Structures are given as C-alpha cells and as structure tokens.
Amino acid sequence: MAASLQLLPPAQKNAVALAEVDEFGFDPAFTESALPLFRWLYEKYWRVETEGVEHVPESGRALLVANHAGVIPWDGAMIRTGIWLEQARPRHARMLVVNFAFAMPGFAQFLLKTGNVLAHPDNAVTLLEQDELVGVFPEGVKGAAKLYRERYRVRRFGRGGFVQVALRTGSPIIPVAVVGAEEVHPVVLELPALARLVGLPTLPVTPTWPLLGGLGLLPLPSKWFIAFGPPIETARLGPHSAEDPRLVLEVSEEVRTWIQSTIDRLLARRKTPFY
C-alpha cells in the first residue's frame, strides 16, 4: 500500500489513508510504526515468554479472555505484541479497554489509533461480526486496582457478559493467562472515597505514584509469561444459548479456572518477580 500511495495525487492519498482508519479510529499504519517500541518492551524490558500462540486463529473471529492488572493496560499491549511477533501470519488484536484508561490525559487518542476500543458488549459484537480478534478483561477495574497482596488471584467474571457476546456471535473463546503485569504497578493502597470525589472508578496508590509524580507511572521491569489456551468453541451452541444463565456461568467458570491454574503453573517458573 505504501508504494502505491506514492503514485497518487495528494487528494487521493488522503482518501486512501482515511479509508484505512476504521469506525473506531484504528490506524494500522500508525500502530505498526509504534511496534519497534513495543517489541523492545516485549523482548528486552519484560523478557516475555509466550506459549500456545498457535491456538490464536490467523484469521476469523475469536474472543481473547485474560486476567487483568495494572493502572495502565500494559497487559493488553503485550498480548497484542506477542500475537503480532509470534504468529506465522501476524494480525492485530483489538482490546476492549475500560473508560478509566481513556480518561487519562493525552492517552485516549493513542489508545484509539492503536486499535483499542471502549469496553462495551455492543463494540465487542460489532468487531467480532467483522471477523476481528477481540480481547477482553472480565475482571475490569477491580482487577486493574487489585492490591499487591491479592495478586494473581483471579476474581469472578461477573455475570459472564463476555460469554454471551461469544455465544451471540459464534466466536471461539481463547483463555489467556498473564504473569508479570501485577508487578508493573504494584498497588499498595486504594482510595475509593477520593476516587468518587474526583469522579474516577478507582484511585490506586503504588510505591512510586503519586509520590514521584509522572515518573511514578514508569513500569517496573518484571518478568512476564503469557499463555494462550485451547479455544472453547461456541458456534455449535447457537446464539439462543446466550440466554441460558447456567450455561453462561459454566463457560465463564471454565475460562476462569483455566486462567487461574495456568497462572499458578507459570508463577512456579519464576525465581523472583523480576527474574
């Protein structure tokens, strides 16, 4: 595409560039220009080891479901980077991100341009029906603000909304276990009263933030592992099964149990959180 753009007059170049940006603001060219930074973080800073990436389809719809941690969604970024780097046919995953992250000054536009989307079932359905690879974090804000002493204890996945989305769209569910993100911004205290006062869903305190101001947002160089599990097929169950609360809960617990057991296995491979 880049070579062909050189042959077009300016007006047509702009039209083609705009056409490549989708309805959510995702700009693949911008995203791929940022990949060297994320590759350095993935390979050198966090030294991510990935397994099971062959379970991620190289085309077609699928729903990635992962545990969550960290004030800044580095886990989503590393999941996406791992898929891009480790797959034979790289593809972009579209992560659903809570509005808390979009509220961070100057960060919303970057999130949108790199393919992240506001977390909402309708957005997930739209992307999956376009045969995209979509990532969700069912623990939500509670997972992101999890205290350090509670790290790697996967919380309940609410009412299983992600399962309903998968069933309605016939999308396979791929569980993802992430180890390393819980130490990037270790939360030692949460200030819910102050958070409500300033209109935020959570206000976590880490050893470096807000004590060090902006420098406190720099992530710590923990050691990471990411594991992708075998897909749980949903198409055979039919979209009507999304209305069966028992089935939705069973699938949700199956995913959560796989993630928790895999986290426990991966944790045993680390000597310390940073090695």
Helix, strand and coil content of the chain, in percent to the nearest 5, comes to 45, 15, 40
How many degrees, rounded to 5, is the angle at CA 140 between CA 135 and CA 141? 135
| Residue 109 neighbours by CB distance under 10 Å | 10
Structure confidence at residue 246 (pLDDT): 96
CB-CB contact of 222 with 273 (8 Å): yes
* Cis preceding linkage at 210, omega within 30: yes
Q: Is the pTM of this model over 0.85?
A: yes
Structure confidence at residue 217 (pLDDT): 81
Structure confidence at residue 16 (pLDDT): 38
Region of 52 please: left (phi>0), alpha (psi -120 to 50) or beta.
left
Structure confidence at residue 251 (pLDDT): 97
- Could you report the average pLDDT of every consecutive run of 10 residues in the chain (275 residues)? 35 43 94 96 98 97 93 90 95 89 76 94 98 95 77 90 98 98 87 72 77 84 98 96 96 97 97 91
CB-CB contact of 135 with 79 (8 Å): yes
Nearest Cα residue to 165 out of 126, 211, 112, 115: 126
Could you give the CA distance from residue 164 to residue 169 in angstroms, rounded to a whole number?
Answer: 9
Half-sphere exposure of 268 (CA within 13 A, CB side): 5
User: Using the 8-state DSSP alphabet, how is residue 68 labeled?
Assistant: -
Q: Which domains does the chain have, with CATH numbers?
A: 23-267 (3.40.1130.10)
